[in-house]
Amino acid sequence: MSTNDHQEFPLLDMMPMAVILVDKEGLITHANELAQGHMGTSLGRMKGRHLAAFLQPSSEVNTMVERALKGETVADDAFCGRQNHMPYSLHFGPMQGQQGVVIGLIPEANRSEVEEHVKRHEMAETVARIALEMAHEVKNPLAALRGAAQLLHEQSRGDAAEISAHILAEVDRIKERIDNFLQVGPRADVAMTEVNIHALLDNVCTASQKVQVRRVYDPSLPNIWVHETRLRQAIENLWVNGLEAESTCITWETRIAPLVALPGHKGMVMELSIRSNGRSIPEALRDRLFEPYVSNKARGSGLGLAVVQRVVQEHGGRISLKQGSGDTTFVMHLPIMKESL
């Protein structure tokens, strides 16, 4: 793409989705970098060619362009790329102030993924409300109960002292379970700070003789604005998850994800992934893995990954699981913000 092209459509090139502009004849006048990536060619080779040369069916492409030229905003999911054969939803709209059409391309695979993340986000919000109610309804009475048990223990002897000690231990156990559950609840606003993600990862990944740690870092990544304590907690949970799966090799990888769009964010997106070669996650649990109390471990609260999801959502990102042949990978996408909101 030439410098002049960038100057002509600066906002278009910053959009986190693939966009193509065509004139009244359906000939391509511009395509941002994401659209070029989907079509598998450069803007120079796309310019002046008909949109139907890259997307099919041709008849439907022409119909949608004609409707948009008449002022309609229309969409359909019956298209696919001629080169990559990938299915797309296309959104057509008239260009303001000139004779032409704006087309947004949304890969069907991405749409399904987004819908899944929306469902999980709704589930997390429901759990968060329950956690908040639990904080009000349980924690105060539990604190009073512990205070009474502590006083009883201090004044008891023999069997009574043993019984009161047991009560204290059980109360503390209940409190610990409640505190763990509240980690997936709504958080008070925390000041965002500028963090070097690679330094944070290195700080979390403590040395271990049982696991080899590989780091595949993108040195071009800028510092990011995050809730450092909460993000550290999420990273620690993923790290511990890999260790408890008896992995012998864990790989952390960072990179810019140019084809990933996050709702409400128009800038760059960072991809952070952790890949481990330990025990795989049973297929029956994969769709519910980020729900509270879902775990394939004999011990543990089953809240670790639910907390991770909650933290990622607090930052406007999303997390997903990819189970490969002998590898388990958690992929986290976070918006790269240049300053605190």
**Of 33-37, 110-114, 131-135, 158-162, highest mean pLDDT:** 33-37
What was the pLDDT predicted at 149? 80
Average of per-residue pLDDT across 251-258: 90
Q: Which of residues 309 and 260 earns the better pLDDT score?
A: 309
| Cross-strand partners of 189 | none
DSSP state at residue 245: T
Lowest mean pLDDT among 5-9, 168-172, 241-245, 254-258: 5-9
What was the pLDDT predicted at 133? 62
- Calculate the alpha carbon distances from 8 to 3, 63, 129, 196 in Å: 9, 28, 47, 34
| pTM (predicted TM-score) | 0.53
DSSP state at residue 25: T
- Identify whether 149 is part of a domain: yes
User: Do 164 and 292 fall into the same domain?
Assistant: no
What was the pLDDT predicted at 293? 62
User: Do 307 and 213 fall into the same domain?
Assistant: yes
CA–CA separation, 166 vs 173, rounded Å? Answer: 11
Residue 3 binned pLDDT confidence (cut-offs 50, 70, 90):
very low
Residue 258 binned pLDDT confidence (cut-offs 50, 70, 90):
confident
- Identify whether 295 is part of a domain: yes
User: Do 147 and 215 fall into the same domain?
Assistant: no
Q: State the CB neighbour count (10 A cutoff) for residue 18.
A: 24
What was the pLDDT predicted at 175? 72
Domain assignment of residue 259, given as a range: 193-335
pLDDT at 1 exceeding the cut of 50: no
**Of 18-27, 202-211, 253-262, highest mean pLDDT:** 18-27
Number of domains in the chain: 3
Average of per-residue pLDDT across 96-118: 71
Average of per-residue pLDDT across 12-23: 81
User: Do 26 and 87 fall into the same domain?
Assistant: yes
pLDDT at 9 exceeding the cut of 80: no
Q: Which of residues 192 and 57 earns the better pLDDT score?
A: 57
- Identify whether 188 is part of a domain: no
pLDDT at 126 exceeding the cut of 90: no
User: Do 307 and 236 fall into the same domain?
Assistant: yes
- Identify whether 255 is part of a domain: yes
End-to-end CA distance of the chain, in Å? 32
Q: State the CB neighbour count (10 A cutoff) for residue 189.
A: 6
Residue 168 Ramachandran class (φ > 0 left, ψ -120 to 50 alpha, else beta):
alpha
3-state secondary structure 262-319: CCCCCCCEEEEEEEECCCCCCHHHHCCCCCCCCCCCCCCCCCHHHHHHHHHHHCCCEE
Q: Which of residues 134 and 103 earns the better pLDDT score?
A: 103
3-state secondary structure 194-216: EECHHHHHHHHCCCCCCCEEEEE
Please check whether residue 19 is in contact with residue 104, taking contact to mean a CB–CB distance below 8 angstroms. Answer: yes
- Identify whether 101 is part of a domain: yes
What was the pLDDT predicted at 45? 92
- For residue range 128-174, list pLDDT tens digits in order: 666 656 665 666 677 777 888 888 888 888 888 888 888 888 887 77
What was the pLDDT predicted at 330? 93
What was the pLDDT predicted at 187? 52
In whole numbers, what is the pLDDT of the chain averaged over residues? 80
User: Do 223 and 270 fall into the same domain?
Assistant: yes
- Identify whether 187 is part of a domain: no
User: Do 8 and 44 fall into the same domain?
Assistant: yes
Amino acid at 312: V
**Of 67-76, 193-202, 289-298, highest mean pLDDT:** 193-202
User: Do 66 and 159 fall into the same domain?
Assistant: no
- Calculate the alpha carbon distances from 205 to 25, 278, 296 in Å: 57, 16, 23
Tracing tokens 């406007």 back to the chain, one arrives at 316
What was the pLDDT predicted at 248? 92
